[in-house]
Amino acid sequence: MQTITFRQELTAPATVVVKIGSRILTAQGHEQRVPNLIRDVAALHASGIRVIVVSSGAIATGMKTLSLEKRPESIPLQQACAAIGQHRLMQMYEHHFSKTSTCIGQVLLTWDDLRSKKRYLNLRNTLFRLLDCGAIPIVNENDSVGIEEIQFGNNDMLGAQVALLVNADLFINLTDVDGLFDRNPHTDANAVHIPVVTQFSSSVRKLADDRKKEISVGGMSTKLRAAEIIARAGIHSLIGNGFSHRLTTVIADPAAATLFLPYEKKMSSRHRWIAFTGQSCGEIIIDEGAHTALTRRGKSLLPAGIHGVNGHFKPGDKVELRTEHGMVIARGLVNYSADEIRMIMNRRSSEIASRLGSKRFDEVIHRDNLVIL
């Protein structure tokens, strides 16, 4: 059994999510790169680590089959490429993983599967059962029916969401650079590699380069957004060079990746869904007093602190909380509908019954159903 070494800042993780970019799987040199990558993933699995792979590459593989050099602008043609490429992609995984006697399972999903709480939990149970069976789930966005990721990013955010879903200990985002640099290393030979990021400051966010490839969509900014979500949830993440290096090098060598350290407190699964996954159905505008009570004193949201309501939502829906200056400061699950909140906003909790005819809760959003961002 191969010994797996992790860089010193990481303890041996129990669950790892590995996101693999399109260029790693399809660009020049993939004939050698892909078998090495799969051997390393299988070695992680054989060492007792639960591994989930989030794979891009369906559209890029379909493009190669159709002899397309540039990513199509037409969404239907991109979806056709995905339909053609997805099963070829899985054939490739099956071919190489079978050489290591490793069982794999395909999981295709759309963003609606993540935003619906019921489907989210069903997906979570499916992934855990696959892991319990000793299989490696291969997850991809169902590009042939879903278009959101096709239009707005690649699978970086999807990989982050899967890591949140399974409460992973480490998220590894494999790309074609050694992580984060102070300048674009493709255009500046003097760019300095950043081995560790301890917090997400505005200066860190400005380091992202949105340079896009002909066969992929996302740039470094989407990878940084994914890493920030992961860190806020209390999970370690790596952005590393799976194009030029082995996966075992990315997890062991600080020069081959940037490690993003997590926030101290790890969020519960429920709070991760509220903060980063579930669909927001509207927004509530709060005053400065409510802002202070929520962020500094850990209080629930009461009707007296509400100055406005936007959207149409029902009890149990997720909403965003905004200050009067437009800043989103929290997300939570409401106890009352939008119309009901409009009737009780700026009022004391003791007035709810007289305004609505009954009072189900004192709070519009209870603290247990609220996540400060």
Would you state the CATH architecture of domain 15-270?
A: 3-Layer(aba) Sandwich (3.40)
Quote the pLDDT of residue 216: 43
Domain coordinates of the chain in residue numbers? 15-270, 280-372
Give pLDDT < 50 ranges for the chain.
150-153, 212-217
The set of residues, in sequence order, having a beta carbon less than 8 Å from that of 155 and lying 6+ positions away, is 19, 21, 54, 55, 56, 140, 141, 149, 218
Are 287 and 324 spatial neighbours (Cβ–Cβ below 8 Å)?
yes
Beta bridge partners of 320: 283, 331
- Give the separation between CA 137 and CA 17, rounded to whole angstroms: 10
Per residue in 280-310, pLDDT (tens digit) is 999 999 999 999 999 999 999 999 999 999 9
Are 145 and 204 spatial neighbours (Cβ–Cβ below 8 Å)?
no
Quote the pLDDT of residue 348: 96
Quote the pLDDT of residue 211: 52
Quote the pLDDT of residue 153: 47
For residue 254, the one-letter residue type is: P
Q: How far is CA 40 from the centre of its chain?
A: 23
Quote the pLDDT of residue 12: 84
**Torsions phi, psi for 343 (to 5 deg):** -80, -25
3-state secondary structure of 370: strand
Quote the pLDDT of residue 41: 98
3-state secondary structure of 53: strand
Would you state the CATH architecture of domain 280-372?
A: Roll (2.30)
List the one residue out of 52, 47, 40, 46 whose CA is nearest residue 15.
52
How large a percentage of the chain has pLDDT more than 70? Answer: 94
Quote the pLDDT of residue 373: 87
Quote the pLDDT of residue 205: 80
